[in-house]
Structure 1
Amino acid sequence: MDIKPLRYFIAIAKTESFTKAAQQLSVAQPAVSMAIKKLEMDLGLTLIHRADRNVGLTDEGKKLLIHAEKIIQATDDALLEMSELKGLSQGEVRVGIPSMLGSYYFPPILMAFHHKYPTITLKVIEGGTWQLQKMLENGELDLSVIVAETLPDGLETQALIREEMLVTVATDHPFSQLKSISPERFFDEELVMFKEGYFHRRIVDKLAKDYHRTPKIGFETNLIPLIKSITQQGFGISTLLAMVIEDDDELITRPFEPAIWLDLGIAWRKDSYLSKANRAFLEFVSEHGRREF
């Protein structure tokens, strides 16, 4: 079977449009339509509903999509490995990094890596750990930083960093007089939180569930400077990693009681081929970026 129609089929499934798929693939729309019709004829099945402008997969199409994605990923891995055996490297690392680490932990590591390997292109995607994990599983990323305790069977991980989640308050907040903060007292306050899908928020939501509490979330934002500003002005409290707090932030941090530690690792798919560029990045992070657990 020619795999090119499978690439077209996946693009249609993701964009829900023949036109958008053709634009994404940089081919003419008639070529996409003809390839899909031939694929359906070869299989003897209808794969796509075509109702006016609404394009969707049939039940048969949904089943084929699962196999098509695996076939394309395996083919791309094989082509990359074969090219590297001839001494040709793709020279690209696609890595997902949660926003908090992307802003405060990884910049010097990324710059040092680029200095050592100037011919390797780094594509850094920032987002929530859940979103990044899904992108990694779908082959949209080569590597991603994830919360180690949520590692699914299809991924392997290398320990990276262990950080404590700290209650963060304004300098004049009553919590500043305490040595530690219980979850009960934390959830009595109005909170400034990251949006759902970020490890910061997932940890807080899990903690609330464990203590049978409903968080009083006054502000939701993924912008760390805004979280700091709102907290500084006393409009709520938050919880951040120690690495995020700087000397001039005018914020006070206190540990939870009991303490909450977050184990983060850098992960990749078990069944994928890691290019030389990705292996170089893993080794570099292990040598220069890892904090002991």
Structure 2
Amino acid sequence: MELRELNYITAIGKTRHMSHAANELYISQPALYKSLRKIESEFGTPLFYRKGNELLPTDTGQIVLEKAGEISILISQMNDAVAATKNLKQGKVNIGFPSIIGTMFLPTLLIEFQKKYPDISLHTVEAGGNALAGMVISGDIDMAIIMRPVFSELLNEIPLIRDQVTAGVLPSHPLSRRSYVTIKDFDNLPFITFDKTFNMRAQLMELFRTEKFRPNIAFEGASCQFLFELTTLSDGILILPRPIIEFYAHDSMITLPFKPSFQWELSLIFQKNTFLSTASKALINHIQEYFFRV
């Protein structure tokens, strides 16, 4: 049965007259009668019987009318949901980010977004960059903010921030009088940095391999606050992106750039050649606008 024919049955059941139903449907009475007979032939049983001047539903007809009402409600709900999604009244987006990015940038960004689109549901996932890229590729999350570069042809990438990885030391440290450091300075010199779940760590290890010596990692971890406290208590050297060191150090630590420069860049990633919901597009636009301001 077609949806149009379901509307015919509903109109007959509501008006209880063939002529009244035909007028309501803007079709001729013979055409409506012909359609009713076709539908009853498909079911193999009458849907209405005549009682006086009225057409009343048979037992089968009553079941069809009840189900038609349920279908009508579902279609109305579907249309409302589609309209709401198109107008950004509702939707759901899953976004991932490393914990430090969440701490530094995401609270304000996400609160602003929810105030702008209060009925869009946001679900967040915290993990390292490599893990997040895999989640985006598999479709477990819609998008993520991670450190560049992104080594996958399956992902779109929108650059958000460009800065540097630096060495952070306390004013009492011998390196504090330097204006910059090089990778060679860390030959047998212990330092503190991210663990293996971070893209920055992988790029740092590649620099050591290029110089053909083994790094001396005193401590490593995923918590920036933990790494900063270790550096402060040990008067050691912290290798992290400059904005992160400055966020936690609050001017108590000196940052020394690497020479040549060790770039730190953040990107927003999402799948190539895939459908993006209206809510996802709205969040992508909001993220770009936010990082343009900061």
Please give the TM-score of this superposition, normalised by the length of structure 2: 0.66
Q: 1:33-44, aligned counterparts within 5 Å?
A: none
Superposed CA RMSD: 2.2
In the alignment, structure 2 segments of 5+ residues that lack a partner are 1-77
> Structure 1 residues 184 and 170 mapped into 2: Cα distance closer, same or farther (>3 Å)?
same
Aligned residue pair count: 211
Q: 1:1-293, aligned counterparts within 5 Å?
A: 86-89=82-85, 91-234=91-234, 236-244=236-244, 245-246=246-247, 248=250, 250-290=252-292
CA–CA separation in structure 2 for the residues paired with 1:168 and 1:193: 10
> Structure 1 residues 252 and 119 mapped into 2: Cα distance closer, same or farther (>3 Å)?
same
SS of corresponding position for 2:217: strand
> Residues 37-60 of structure 1: CA distance to partner in whole angstroms, max 9, x if unpaired?
xxxxxxxxxxxxxxxxxxxxxxxx
Larger radius of gyration: 2
Partner of 2:43: none
SS of corresponding position for 2:100: helix
Whether contact under 8 Å (2:164, 2:263) holds in the other structure is yes
Task: Name the % identity.
Answer: 27
CA–CA separation in structure 2 for the residues paired with 1:84 and 1:209: 58
Whether contact under 8 Å (1:171, 1:232) holds in the other structure is no
Please give the TM-score of this superposition, normalised by the length of structure 1: 0.66
How far 1:194 sits from its partner (Å)? 1.5
Whether contact under 8 Å (2:194, 2:240) holds in the other structure is no
In the alignment, structure 1 segments of 5+ residues that lack a partner are 1-81
CA–CA separation in structure 2 for the residues paired with 1:285 and 1:149: 19
Whether contact under 8 Å (2:173, 2:235) holds in the other structure is no
SS of corresponding position for 1:118: coil
> Residues 72-126 of structure 1: CA distance to partner in whole angstroms, max 9, x if unpaired?
xxxxxxxxxx989932536111111122211112222122112211111221211
How far 1:271 sits from its partner (Å)? 2.8
CA–CA separation in structure 1 for the residues paired with 2:108 and 2:239: 24
> Residues 254-275 of structure 1: CA distance to partner in whole angstroms, max 9, x if unpaired?
1001111122211111132111
CA–CA separation in structure 1 for the residues paired with 2:251 and 2:103: 15
